[in-house]
Every structure is written in structure tokens, then in C-alpha cells.
């Protein structure tokens, strides 16, 4: 790699102490639920409190204040045009740029540390806690309030320059995001002009994970817009989709190439296979209250769904009935299924022998008569 292109080049981005009032949460944060992205500051704070346990962070801060060893990472909300075309390394030494960053009215969007920042905003503002009905936060002393009102922040000039750092930290690093957040982040990098190969190189991905995440993100997007499917459950259980898309029989069913490198990530599923994609989503995640998912746990994907999709009759049965267990019984073909049924029947008959002599009821006699008729029919069919 050329020394002109690596992401960490330069000494170094400004590290400044910034007042909390100048720092704002990132409405494009990949960890936010889709229906919260782009919403107001208060709605984002509320979502982070409800879904990401910020009260745990609050209790730590109420005792310890803010650890300077974990600075936030932010970008100016507005970068003046005079700085737009200056290389980052030179910009960090530009007196006018540094003066702009230290102005009391310059505002910043925090791209790393949103959970911490939202916690601090709630700790400082009792009015905000009342408005959002936050009752689990502790009270803080004036000394702690002063400490967390001024925060260490590493400043990048643009969001584009922060993307590689966030990828390394949250895709392959020690603070990994949930699967769907990773996929959405990778999709965001692609939209910014990065290739999948470049992303994988930047985050040290040697197992094509970024490519797999992006493929599944694209599959979800197709399902969402082609069939107007509700995808909240798919986002929450995104790992199911990642697991399923890696199975050979699922790839065949969707018309995907066997090798992940050969799949057209922008148009992964042929038009002729779109209904199959809808079926996969329906089996994995259901369709609202009308159709519940047939996959109950992740091992159902590898243990049952995968063999079902290898057999056309088993797949057809699953499509018609949504009974994964019965479809799986049929996945080895009619001969194996017949053998299984006869084996079970013989096993139950053998267990029944110990009870027959003690029973004199008409119902038992009727069942024995049915058994004789079934055996005669089986014998007739076999001879035929």
C-alpha cells in the first residue's frame, strides 16, 4: 500500500476539550434502529436509553466522572469552504482551522461515543430526564457535573475520514457492533465510494466477512422494497440471514454463486428467484402475525432447512405447509421416509405388546382391526 493512502497517516488530529453544549449525537449512527435514524436529538437520546442500557454508564460516571483515556471522536457540523480542499495532515497544523475548532459557537457531530454522550446529556439535565421519563439515573454532585460538562474530543475534518477508524474499531476490533449495525455501516462506506475490497483491507478482514455482511444487507433491502416486507425482526436476528446465506442449498435456491467473490452484490438475486427470496425471509422471520417463522433457533437452519432445500419435494412441502419438521422428514426422499415411518410403527407395536393382554375394551379391538387392515393394504401395495 502506498504511504500516501493509509487511513491513519498524519500526526495527528486535534484533541480538544469541548463543552457538551457544542456536541451533538449522530443521526446516522449505524447502531440506531432504522425508525430512529435521522430523528431529533431527544428521540436519539431516548432510543439509546431504551435499547442500549445507558443507565449502566450513568452509574459509572456518577462515581468516576469521565475518563479522559476514552476521548470522543467528532467532526464539525459545518466545515468552512476555505478548509475543504486542504489535506488532513496539513489542516491539523493550520492556525485558522484550529481557531475555528476552538470557537465557542462551533458545533460538532459525535461519530464515536454516542452512548457516552447521550448519558452525559441526561445526567446534566434533570429537565430532559423528566421529559423522557428517565427514572433510573442517579443524581450527581456538582463536582461530577463540572467534570463531564467538558469532554476530550478528537476532531476529524470530515465524516469520510472517520469511516476507516470506525470500521476497524467496530467490525474487527474490540468493540464490535451487532451484525446488522455492521452491515449498515459497510453499506454506508460503499455509498461513500469505498469498494468491498478496500473496506476489507482497511479493517483487516481476511475471511470475506464484510462481503458477506453487505450481501445480506442487500438481500434485506431487496426483500424490503420488492415485497414491502417488515424487516425489523430480520434486523434484530440478522445473524440468521448471515448463517442461511452461507449454506450451499440456500445459495442454489436463491440463484447465488457458490463463491461469495462471484456474487453480484448490487443485484444478488435473479428476477426468477425473487419469490424464493421472499420464502426464505418468511421462513426465517415470519410475516407479521399472519405467518410465524418456521425456524425457531439458529440450528434449525443448518440441521433442517438446509437439507430440506436440497430436495425438491421437501421444499414444495415446506412451501405449502410451513411445517419444517415434516418437510425435513421428507428431505431424504420417499424411500427413506417410508423406512422411518415403518421403523417408528414397529417400535410402537413392540412397546404395545406388554399391554395388549391386559386390555379388553372395544376401542382397543377397533384399533387392532384398523392395524390389520393397514397391514393388508401395505402387503397388497408391495406385491403390486
Structural domain contains residue 57:
yes
- pLDDT, tens digit, for every residue of 311-328? 999 999 999 999 999 999
Structural domain contains residue 322:
no
What's the whole-model pTM score?
0.67
What DSSP assignment string belongs to 250-302?
HHHHHT--SSGGGS-TTS-S-GGGHHHHHHHHHHHH-BTTTB--S--STHHII
**What's the confidence (pLDDT) of residue 3?**
46
CB 243 within 8 A of CB 187: no
- Single residue among 245, 267, 289 that ends a domain in this structure: 267
pLDDT over 90 percentage in the chain: 59
Contacts of 151 (CB under 8 A, 6+ apart): 17, 18, 20, 23, 66, 71, 72, 117, 120
Q: Are residues 152 and 187 in the same domain?
A: no
Nearest to 244 by CA among 259, 254, 231, 235: 254
Structural domain contains residue 301:
no
Q: Are residues 139 and 82 in the same domain?
A: yes
Element spanning 24, H or E = strand 23-25
Q: Are residues 120 and 188 in the same domain?
A: no
What is the rounded average pLDDT of the residues 12-33? 90
Q: Are residues 23 and 151 in the same domain?
A: yes
Instruction: Find the range with the poorest average confidence among 19-33, 75-89, 278-292, 339-353.
Output: 339-353
Q: Are residues 151 and 27 in the same domain?
A: yes
Q: Are residues 195 and 138 in the same domain?
A: no
Structural domain contains residue 324:
no
Give the pLDDT band of residue 2 (cuts 50, 70, 90).
very low
Lateral strand order in the sheet of 108-112? 15-19, 150-155, 72-76, 108-112, 23-25
Q: How far is CA 299 from CA 203, 243, 287, 303, 304, in A?
A: 29, 10, 21, 6, 8
Structural domain contains residue 360:
yes
What is the rounded average pLDDT of the residues 1-11? 48
Q: What total number of domains does the chain contain?
A: 3
Mean residue pLDDT of the chain comes to 87
What is the rounded average pLDDT of the residues 4-31? 79
Give the pLDDT band of residue 1 (cuts 50, 70, 90).
very low
**What's the confidence (pLDDT) of residue 239?**
94
Beta strands of 66-172 (E only): which ranges?
72-76, 108-112, 150-155
pLDDT of 186 higher than 70: yes
- pLDDT, tens digit, for every residue of 132-157? 999 989 999 999 999 999 999 999 99
Q: Are residues 97 and 214 in the same domain?
A: no
pLDDT of 30 higher than 50: yes
Residue-number span of the structural domain to which 361 is assigned: 334-383
Q: Are residues 77 and 153 in the same domain?
A: yes
Structural domain contains residue 51:
yes
Structural domain contains residue 187:
yes
Q: Are residues 48 and 141 in the same domain?
A: yes
- Single residue among 223, 241, 267 that ends a domain in this structure: 267
Q: Are residues 152 and 49 in the same domain?
A: yes
**What's the confidence (pLDDT) of residue 6?**
46
Structural domain contains residue 162:
no
Q: Which residues pair with 150 in a beta bridge?
A: 19
pLDDT of 93 higher than 50: yes
What is the rounded average pLDDT of the residues 185-196? 89
Cell of 171: 467490525
pLDDT of 52 higher than 70: yes
Amino acid at each position: 500500500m502506498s504511504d500516501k493512502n493509509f487511513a491513519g497517516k498524519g500526526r495527528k488530529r486535534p484533541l480538544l476539550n469541548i463543552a457538551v453544549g457544542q456536541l451533538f449525537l449522530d443521526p446516522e449512527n449505524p447502531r440506531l434502529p432504522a425508525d430512529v435514524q435521522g430523528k431529533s436529538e431527544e428521540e436519539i437520546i431516548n432510543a439509546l436509553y431504551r435499547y442500549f442500557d445507558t443507565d449502566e454508564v450513568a452509574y459509572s460516571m456518577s462515581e468516576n466522572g469521565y475518563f479522559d483515556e476514552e476521548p470522543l471522536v467528532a467532526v464539525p457540523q459545518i466545515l468552512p469552504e476555505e478548509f475543504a480542499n486542504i489535506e488532513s495532515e496539513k489542516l491539523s497544523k493550520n492556525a485558522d482551522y484550529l481557531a475555528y475548532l476552538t470557537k465557542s459557537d462551533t458545533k460538532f457531530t459525535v461519530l464515536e461515543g454516542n452512548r457516552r454522550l447521550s448519558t452525559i446529556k441526561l445526567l446534566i439535565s434533570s429537565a430532559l430526564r423528566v421529559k423522557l421519563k428517565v427514572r433510573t439515573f442517579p443524581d450527581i454532585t456538582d463536582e461530577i457535573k463540572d467534570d463531564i460538562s467538558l469532554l476530550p474530543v478528537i476532531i476529524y475534518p470530515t465524516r469520510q475520514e472517520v469511516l476507516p477508524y470506525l470500521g476497524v474499531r467496530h467490525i474487527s476490533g474490540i468493540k464490535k457492533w451487532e451484525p446488522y449495525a455492521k452491515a449498515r455501516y459497510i453499506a454506508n462506506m460503499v455509498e461513500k465510494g469505498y469498494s468491498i475490497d478496500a473496506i476489507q483491507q482497511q479493517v483487516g478482514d481476511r475471511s470475506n466477512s464484510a462481503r458477506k455482511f453487505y450481501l445480506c444487507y442487500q438481500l434485506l433491502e431487496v426483500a424490503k422494497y420488492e415485497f414491502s416486507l417488515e424487516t425489523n425482526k430480520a434486523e434484530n436476528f440478522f445473524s440468521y440471514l448471515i448463517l442461511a446465506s452461507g449454506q450451499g442449498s440456500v445459495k442454489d435456491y436463491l440463484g447465488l454463486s457458490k463463491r461469495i467473490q462471484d456474487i453480484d452484490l448490487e443485484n444478488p438475486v435473479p428476477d426468477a428467484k425473487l419469490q424464493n427470496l421472499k420464502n426464505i425471509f418468511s421462513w426465517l422471520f415470519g410475516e407479521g402475525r399472519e405467518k410465524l417463522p418456521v425456524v425457531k433457533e439458529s440450528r434449525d437452519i443448518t440441521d433442517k432447512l438446509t437439507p430440506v432445500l436440497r430436495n425438491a419435494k421437501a421444499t414444495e412441502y415446506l412451501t405449502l405447509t410451513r411445517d419444517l419438521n415434516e418437510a425435513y422428514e421428507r428431505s431424504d426422499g420417499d424411500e427413506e421416509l417410508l423406512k422411518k415411518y415403518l421403523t417408528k410403527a414397529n417400535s410402537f407395536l413392540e412397546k404395545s405388546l406388554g399391554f395388549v393382554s391386559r386390555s379388553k375394551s372395544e376401542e382397543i379391538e377397533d384399533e387392532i382391526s384398523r392395524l390389520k387392515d393397514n397391514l393388508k393394504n401395505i402387503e397388497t401395495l408391495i406385491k403390486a
